[in-house]
């Protein structure tokens, strides 16, 4: 940080040199304060998996573990600082670099997932229309376990392999005949 001819004094605030550790490397990121209870719950049960990816390299994430959770919420952003430690043996991550971080709290195996557009809300709670083999609609109450992005994870109410209605539910009543139209945006049936 200094060059020959610069004046250096004792107790000066100008650093002489900066040393960055590359292996292992720490990644500091923030999570919304609303996610803290879930993070704390899963951290107490086991080590939480955290992945860091450099922008544009979605195929080779670096895996690490959470080593620090701050004890205060940042009042200006409503987030909590978290630090992940990564072995970084392949040296994909560099000090000062921006990365995308994914924290995996748990994995639901054999979960039933439907598009979020299939789930409607009624007076008795959430429901979906399921297409029966005779091409008629059946209204089914469902229990939502979690919503992520454009998908809804159901804990009950529908079964694997059933077809649910994702468009036109306002015109449907239980027992109504339906026709399945191809979805041009996804290349499959809707």
Q: pLDDT digit string (tens) for 39-78?
A: 999 999 887 889 999 888 878 899 999 999 999 999 999 9
Determine if the peptide bond prior to 24 is cis (ω within 30°): yes
* Residue range 73-106, pLDDT digits in tens: 999 999 999 999 999 988 889 898 999 999 998 8
What residue ranges do the domains of the chain occupy? 25-104, 112-185
**In CATH terms, is domain 112-185 a member of 3.40.50.300?**
no
* Residue range 111-149, pLDDT digits in tens: 899 999 999 998 999 999 999 999 999 999 999 988 888
Overall CATH class of domain 25-104:
mainly beta
Q: Maximum Cα–Cα distance for the chain, whole Å? A: 88
């Amino acid at each position: 940080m200094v060059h020959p001819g610069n004046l250096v004094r004792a107790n000066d605030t100008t650093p002489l040199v900066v040393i960055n550790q590359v292996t292992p490397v720490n990644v500091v990121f923030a999570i919304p304060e609303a996610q803290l209870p879930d993070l704390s719950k899963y951290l107490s049960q086991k080590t939480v998996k955290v992945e860091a990816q450099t922008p544009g390299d979605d195929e080779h994430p670096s895996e690490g573990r959470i080593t620090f959770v701050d004890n205060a919420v940042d009042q200006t952003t409503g987030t909590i600082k978290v630090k992940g430690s990564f072995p970084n043996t392949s040296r994909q991550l560099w000090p000062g670099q921006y990365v995308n971080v994914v924290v995996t709290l748990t994995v639901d195996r054999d979960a039933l997932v439907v598009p979020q557009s299939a789930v409607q809300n009624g007076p008795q709670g959430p429901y979906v229309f399921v297409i029966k083999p005779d091409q008629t609609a059946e209204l089914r109450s469902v229990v939502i376990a979690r919503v992520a992005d454009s998908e809804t994870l159901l804990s009950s109410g529908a079964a694997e392999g059933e077809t649910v209605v994702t468009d036109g539910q306002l015109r449907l009543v239980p027992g109504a005949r339906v026709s399945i139209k191809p979805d041009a945006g996804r290349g499959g049936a809707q």
